[in-house]
Amino acid sequence: MSYKPPYTISDKILNLVVDITMLLSKVDIAFKNNVLLRKKNQIKTVVGTLAIEGNNLDIKQVTEILEGKKVVGNQKEIQEVKSAINTYENIEKFDPYKIDDLFKAHSLMMNLLLENVGQFRDVKVAVKGDEIVHVAPPPLQVPKLMEELFEWLKNSELNPLISSSVFHYEFEFIHPFVDGNGRIGRFWQSLILSKYNPIFLSFPIESIIKQRQDEYYKTLSTCDMEANSTLFIEFMLECIYEAISSEINSDKSSEINFQGTDEKILDFLKINPKATIKILASKLNLTTRAIEKQLANLKKENRLQRVGSPKKGEWVVNEKGDL
C-alpha cells in the first residue's frame, strides 16, 4: 500500500476509541433489535445531514414523507429528503470498499437533483462560505486520488472508528462530485461503521454533526491548512461518542423514576460520566444555564466532583458512604 493519508494517532484519539468501545459494550440486545428506534434515528440522521446543506424540513415533515404522506414545502427540499431516505434505507446493500458502490450511492442520494449523478466531476470546484475556504484538486486528478483512497481504506489495519474518520476527511478534501459531497461523505463514514458493527445504524451521528456544524466546517478548514486530518478524527470521534451516549442514556433514563432534578443529574452521570452539559440539558428538558447551576450546587454539597480537564475529564458521583 503506497498511499497513506497524513494523520497522527493522538492520545485523545486513543482515549476516545476506548471510551466508545466501552459504551458499545453497554448496549443490550433489546436496544440492538429495536426497529422503531432505528427508524426514529434514521429520520434524525436524514434531517441532520440535509440541514447541514441548508434543507429546512423538520423531523415531523420528514416523518410524513417517510410514511408516504403529502407534505407542503419546497419541492427540491422534499426530493432531497426522498433521495436521502432511499439511500439510507439501502445502506446495508453497499460495500464501503468499492468505488462502483460509491457511484450507486451518489446516484440514489442525488436522484432528480443533479444531472450527472454517479460519476466524478469534470470541472473545477471550490467550497465557499463568506469566502473561498477550500479549492479541491483538479478534476483530472480525482479518479487516481479516489482509487488510492479506496485502496488505502481496504488495506488499512486501523480501527474503523479511525479509518472511517480519515476517509471522511480525505473524501471532503478531494470533493469528487459536482454536488452532494457533504452528504455522501457523512453517509460513507456511517456505512464503514455499520460494517464494523451494525449497531451504528441505530445512532444518528449526522444529527450530532449538525448540532456542531460550525465546528465541523472549521475543523475541516483547519485540517486543510495543516495538511493533516488528526483534528478532524478527534472531532468525529467526539460526535460518535456523543451520539451513542445520548441514545443509551435516553433508553436507560426512560426506565428510571426520578424524584428531583439533582437526582436526575446524578443518575445520568452514573450511567455516563462523560456526559456534556448540552446532553444533560437536552435529556432533562432544562436550559444549559439551569444545568450549570445544579452542577455547581451538587459540587458544593460534595455529591459530585469533576476529575480531569474540562474537555477530557469526567464526572464522579459521590455515594453517601463516600461523603
* pLDDT at residue 79 tops 90: yes
Grid cell 428506534 is found at: 37
Q: Residue 259 has what pLDDT?
A: 46
* pLDDT at residue 16 tops 50: yes
Q: How far apart are CA 246 and CA 134, in angstroms?
A: 32
Highest-confidence range of 112-116, 250-254, 285-289, by mean pLDDT?
A: 112-116
CA 197-252-241 angle, to 5 degrees, is 45
Average pLDDT over every residue of 195-200: 95
Given a contact cutoff of 8 angstroms between Cβ atoms, the answer to whether 188 and 227 are in contact is no
SS3 labels along the chain: CCCCCCCCCCHHHHHHHHHHHHHHCCCCHHHHCCHHHHHHHHHHHHHHHHHCCCCCCCHHHHHHHHCCCCCCCCHHHHHHHHHHHHHHHCHHHCCCCCHHHHHHHHHHHCCCCCCCCCCCCCCCCEEECCCEEEECCCHHHHHHHHHHHHHHHHHCCCCHHHHHHHHHHHHHHHCCCCCCHHHHHHHHHHHHHHHHCHHHHHCCHHHHHHHCHHHHHHHHHHHHHHCCCHHHHHHHHHHHHHHHHHHHHHHHHCCCCCCCHHHHHHHHHHHCCCCCHHHHHHHHCCCHHHHHHHHHHHHHCCCEEEECCCCCCEEEECCHHHC
Domains annotated for the chain, with CATH where assigned, are: 11-249 (1.10.3290.10), 259-322 (1.10.10.10)
* pLDDT at residue 140 tops 80: yes
- Model confidence band, residue 52 (pLDDT cutoffs 50, 70, 90): very high
Q: How far apart are CA 11 and CA 5, in angstroms?
A: 19
Specify which residues 135 forms β-bridges with: 126
- Of 258 and 271, more confident: 271
Specify which residues 134 forms β-bridges with: 127
Q: Which grid coordinates are listed for 182?
A: 457533504
Given a contact cutoff of 8 angstroms between Cβ atoms, the answer to whether 298 and 266 are in contact is yes
Q: What percent of the chain has pLDDT over 70?
A: 92
* pLDDT at residue 194 tops 70: yes
Average pLDDT over every residue of 244-266: 68
Task: Provide the whole-model pTM.
Answer: 0.79
Q: How far apart are CA 143 and CA 129, in angstroms?
A: 26
* pLDDT at residue 257 tops 70: no
